Amino acid sequence: MSIWQYANPVKFLALSSRVQPYLWAAAVICVTTGLLWGFFGTPDDARQGSTVKIIYLHVPAALMAINAWFMMLIASLIWLVRRHHVSALAAKAAAPVGIVMTLIALVTGAIWGQPMWGTWWAWDPRLTSFLILFLFYLGYIALWEAIEDPDTAADLTSVLCLVGSVFAILSRYAVQFWNQGLHQGTSVPVATGGRTVADVFFYPLLVSMVGFGLLFLALVIYRTGTEIRLRRAAAMRARTGRGA
């Protein structure tokens, strides 16, 4: 028994169809609780008023936007090293979810920035890094779509993901060097354990972050299952000779 047995599509599908209902239920409960609690159950901030409440969408989305790329990076590495098709398809399935999360983070940030900073957009390091991340996602998805042979596509996108990660990190430091920021520091520093958000805002935020994580997981598993079935359908069509 090892985790690699789930590289077998049949086993993966069996497991995923068993855990999916629970995963979806947990994700929906966490996201709705987090958002409703955040929007209606917390007081307005002394200085920011009710605009502070966008944090329950913005921070979890930003968190998942970055983690989705990490997940794609790991899945790409597994594909390159061990050639498990499920892994390549999981990376493919995660990209559109990641780009949507990036967009949510950018848009909610702009909506919050307009009343608070007085501008929709500033060339701040964090904002710029996210815009660059968005471009990376766009290129990754476009490359998947452009190549017909699925294995070649998986190979090329995996290498792009690896090289892109290196350049994304480089860009992150480059933009920090290039412009000092307007964006506040991180609200929930994991490394130091301290945090700058008061408890009353923090707990709904935590629930919302967990909810977004579960939602991401559920979406990726669901989409990976869809990709596997699509692949099977294509194989079946090829066998019966009816063409695509």
Partner 1 sequence: MIALLIRDLRLAFRAGGGFGLGLAFFLIVTVLVPFSVGPQADLLSSIAPGVLWLGALLACLLSLDRLLALDYEDGTLDLLVTAPLPLEAALSIKALAHWLTTGLPLVIAAPVLGVLLNLPANGFGWVVVSLALGTPALSVIGTFGAALTVGIKRGGLLMSLLVLPLYVPTLIFGAEAARRGAAGLDGTTPLLMLAGITFGTIALMPFASAAVLRMGLR
Q: How far is the CB of 205 from partner 1 (least distance, A)?
A: 30
Q: How far is the CB of 33 from partner 1 (least distance, A)?
A: 37
Burial grade of 239 (CB within 10 A; 0-12, 13-18, 19 or more): exposed
Rule CB under 8 A: say whether 164 interacts with partner 1. yes
Rule CB under 8 A: say whether 7 interacts with partner 1. no
Closer residue to partner 1 (CB): 4 or 173: 173
Rule CB under 8 A: say whether 171 interacts with partner 1. yes
User: Using CB under 8 A, which of the segments 53-61, 136-144, 181-189, 216-224 binds partner 1?
Assistant: 136-144
Rule CB under 8 A: say whether 138 interacts with partner 1. yes
Calculate the CA dihedral of residues 221, 224, 230, 236 and round it to 10 degrees: -90
Q: How far is the CB of 184 from partner 1 (least distance, A)?
A: 23
Tokens 């979810």, located at residue: 97
Rule CB under 8 A: say whether 100 interacts with partner 1. no
Q: Which amino acid is at 27?
A: A
Tally the C-alpha atoms within 13 A of residue 227's C-alpha that lie toward its C-beta: 23
Angle at 76 between CA 72 and CA 78, to 5 degrees: 120
Q: How far is the CB of 14 from partner 1 (least distance, A)?
A: 31
Rule CB under 8 A: say whether 43 interacts with partner 1. no
Rule CB under 8 A: say whether 175 interacts with partner 1. yes
- Closest alpha carbon to 168 in 116, 128, 212, 201: 128
Interface with partner 1: number of residues (CB under 8 A) = 26
Q: How far is the CB of 9 from partner 1 (least distance, A)?
A: 22
Closer residue to partner 1 (CB): 162 or 234: 162
Task: Render the burial of 140-158: b for 16+ CB within 10 Å, e for the rest.
Answer: bbebbeeeeebeebbbebb
Angle at 89 between CA 83 and CA 91, to 5 degrees: 95
Report the C-alpha gap between 213 and 207 in whole angstroms: 10
Indicate which single residue of 167, 230, 232, 238 sits in contact with partner 1 (rule: CB under 8 A): 167
| Interacting residue ranges for partner 1, rule: CB under 8 A | 132, 135-136, 138-139, 142-143, 146-147, 152, 155-156, 159-160, 162-164, 167-168, 170-171, 173-175, 177-178
